[in-house]
Chains A and B, each alone.
Chain A
Amino acid sequence: MSFKISSHPLDPNRLKDQLSADAAGACACFEGWVRDHNEGEAVRALEYEAHEDLAVKEGEKILAEAIEKFGLHAAAAEHRTGRLEIGDCAVWVGVASSHRDAAFLGCRFIIDELKSRLPIWKKEHYVDGQSGWINCVTGKAEAPE
């Protein structure tokens, strides 16, 4: 079980290696990518800021909750900070379990909890040169700066 914050590109193939378990018959992974639009705005890049210590503590708590709740054999996740371009992987989640139901459910639980609980913030940089911090409740940028 490992949760990390990284300022370097994520490599999903390498990250998946840590999930291997002889008792596992299913593996589910989720990748969150930077897309080129949000709420009708053309997006050029994203910037993530985190409070690393508290994000890691909370991330590890979420993984432990998922392992307990869904009986997973392994769970891991990593979240980027810094500037990301279109197509970059911003967050990766992977789980392994005996059967597929627990794998899908556990993976979904982890990404949903990470999004609502981690002290991480996202600033969108738009094609028109403006930028704004994203409000997780509305999904939209606050007043552009």
Chain B
Amino acid sequence: MIAVTARYFAAFRDKAGHDTETLRTQARTAGELYAEIAAAHGFADTMTRCKVAVNDEFADWNTQLEDGDTVLFFPPVAGG
């Protein structure tokens, strides 16, 4: 188990009901963590349409997580 901080934006934050939470998880990658939190909060978007950042840098879904990481979950973007 590792402890990570998850941060949510826009529609994800509204669905989760908060913008930050600390999680103890068995997830080894950002993608495995997304699967966990998507199930917990009812996020319906597939990973290919969302983006993830680990410690304030855009990352791949297969990025390995380490204890103390901060993982940012971005729902489908809509600028412009």
List chain A positions with a Cβ less than 8 A from chain B: 32, 48-51, 53-55, 58, 79, 90-91, 111, 114-123, 133-137, 142, 145
B residues contacting A by CB (< 8 A) are 9-11, 14, 49, 51, 53, 56-58, 72, 74-80
Prevailing SS type, chain B contact patch: mixed
Q: Return chain B residues, CB-CB under 8 Å to A134.
A: 78
9 A-B pairs with least C-beta separation:
A121-B10, A120-B79, A115-B80, A133-B11, A136-B78, A134-B78, A122-B78, A118-B79, A32-B80
Are B10 and A49 in touch, CB under 8 angstroms?
Answer: yes
Q: How far is the CA of A55 from the CA of B56 in the complex (A)?
A: 11
- Contact present for A79 and B79 (CB under 8 Å): yes
B79/A51 in contact, CB under 8 A: no
Q: Other CB < 8 Å A-B pairs besides A121-B11, A123-B10, 14 of them?
A: A49-B10, A54-B58, A54-B72, A58-B58, A91-B79, A114-B80, A118-B79, A119-B53, A119-B77, A120-B79, A133-B10, A133-B78, A136-B78, A137-B76
A90 to chain B, nearest CB (A): 7
Q: Of the candidates A51, A55, A135, A145, which one forms a contact with B78 in the assembled complex, judged by CB atoms under 8 Å apart? A: A135
Q: Measured between C-beta atoms, what is the minimum distance from A110 to chain B in Å? A: 10
Considering the chains assembled together, what is the distance between the CA atoms of A122 and B10 in angstroms? 8
